[in-house]
Structure 1
Amino acid sequence: MRSTIQLAIFVLALTPMWTSAQISSPQIKRDKKQPKENLEWLWQYAPPPADGRENQLVLDARFRPFLAQYLTAPQTFWGNPKTGYKTLNETALDFLSVPDKVVADDNRYLSITGCVFRFCPARGLLWVDLGLPHPLVAFAAIDWIKDSKTPSELGAEYTLWVFANHPIDPDHIPPALTHSVARWTAQPPTGSTVIQQVTHAILVDPDGTPHQIQPATIGANTFTVKPQDDQKAQQ
């Protein structure tokens, strides 16, 4: 009888511990869905291209915090190894400091382009997929390879750097992103008539891991004019 009573007391003493363990068990926790990130404010800067407000976008008080939030990967192409490299968001701001265009595609994607102040061969493209709960934001930079010819000469070579806030599989790059890059690289820099030849392309993961890819894989220098478009241009 005494053994039975002692066992009952032991079980009762452990009951709060079991209850606490069950309550704190990660298996019964329900994952809270994270709210959709609101970047709808970007749309106001993408009316028809003729009326684009790219200058106002860069000056919007929300633009710098937006870059700082989504562009966090380390970079080593813009800056000086002795004095230090700039953060990626600062680099993007430099490459968009002279605004070019804001283009909307399919009511989902935004392409924001620009170039570096006083050196427009260094160009930037900020691409945003607003159709996802957690938007995919990619920054692409055309960087002159200094060992090649000067930017004003034919034959100058460039590296295309692409950074994204989510990992992008080099074998499954979003078609909308490659289309945007193709359209962008088909246009010469401001003040020039020479199409930049991208001979190297590097896709960088959010943690800074680089992946060398063929430029055409990301759409660089692949844009071709359709015959009907060429006829319209000649009229």
Structure 2
Amino acid sequence: MRHAIQLAATLLLLAAPAAHAQISSPQIKKDKKQPKENLEWLWQYAPPPADGRETQLVLDQRFRPFLEQYFTAPQTFWGNPKTGYKTLAETALDFLSVPDKVLADDNRYLSITGCVFRFCPERGLIWVDHNGSHPLVVFAAIDWIKDSRTPDQSGAEYTLWVFPNHPIDPDHIPAALIHSVARWTAHPPQGNTQIQQIANAILVDPDGTPHQIKPAAIGANTFTLPPSTEQKAQP
């Protein structure tokens, strides 16, 4: 395991709240119903038409507040200890600053993809499950392991960071999320022909607790494109 990954995971553990007992505070009324969270506005940016209006989505005035509401976990891979790490919401925005696609599945799931401005090997995915009153929203980031080969070389390695807004059991990851990650990682980044090799995958709880998981457990590098699609992916 790369030293950088070990350091990042350790920092996340240190950043996690120490007082979990606060969650069961008697001041919280368990019978009080929380209002339904409405994310229906996201659907207008999904196909049809054939290509989703991903740029308009990122520019929508509701997009930044959406990121700030759902992505609050600490992160220690984007930034550095000296200058400080960005918030997870800021990180998600950076990783979608060059919009890619908006895809809808089963009239329930939405996948929003993009990459970092001027460095598309750093890629982001936001996945939304619209079912229920409190949607499951996940931010995933493909981050280049800097002590591996450069992104333009074969054999470069990456870490997949996964941040759900609700805890996900590492042994019971939603099948629809696995499918979306598999489809996403099957395509090379913009301007490249190399499929990114995910060497590590870390699932991070909303409180910042990291869980090392096998990349294939969340679908990374498991999706095989049809030959015709693979040809289209070439420049």
TM-score normalised by structure 1 residue count:
0.83
Number of paired residues? Answer: 204
User: Cα gap change, 1:68/1:170 in structure 2, threshold over 3 Å: closer, same or farther?
Assistant: same
| Distance in structure 2 (CA, Å) of the matches to 1:232 and 1:181 | 17
| Distance in structure 2 (CA, Å) of the matches to 1:143 and 1:233 | 23
| Aligned 8 A contact 2:51 2:102 in 1 | no
Matched, 1:52 2:57: no
Tell me by how many angstroms 1:88 deviates. 0.1
Tell me by how many angstroms 1:232 deviates. 8.5
Unmatched 5+ residue regions in structure 1? 1-25
Give the letter aligned to residue 159 of structure 2.
T
* Residue-by-residue CA offset, 1:48-70 (whole Å, 9 max, x unaligned): 36231000000000000000000
| Aligned 8 A contact 2:46 2:53 in 1 | yes
Matches within 5 A, 1:120-131: 120-131=120-131
| Distance in structure 1 (CA, Å) of the matches to 2:196 and 2:230 | 21
Matches within 5 A, 1:54-133: 54-133=54-133
Unmatched 5+ residue regions in structure 2? 1-25
TM-score normalised by structure 2 residue count:
0.83
* Bigger proportion of residues as helix: 1
1:22 maps to none
Q: Secondary structure at the match of 1:220?
A: coil
Matches within 5 A, 1:96-175: 96-175=96-175
| Distance in structure 1 (CA, Å) of the matches to 2:116 and 2:191 | 13
Q: Percent identity at matched positions?
A: 82
- Aligned-residue CA RMSD (Å): 1.7
1:214 maps to 214
Q: Secondary structure at the match of 1:180?
A: helix
1:42 maps to 42
Give the letter aligned to residue 87 of structure 1.
T
* Residue-by-residue CA offset, 1:175-204 (whole Å, 9 max, x unaligned): 000000000000000000100000000000
User: Cα gap change, 1:192/1:49 in structure 2, threshold over 3 Å: closer, same or farther?
Assistant: farther
Larger Rg over CA atoms:
1
Q: Secondary structure at the match of 2:207?
A: coil
User: Cα gap change, 1:174/1:232 in structure 2, threshold over 3 Å: closer, same or farther?
Assistant: closer
Tell me by how many angstroms 1:35 deviates. 2.2
Tell me by how many angstroms 1:33 deviates. 2.1
Could you say which structure has the greater relative contact order, defined with CA pairs below 8 angstroms and 6 or more residues apart? 2
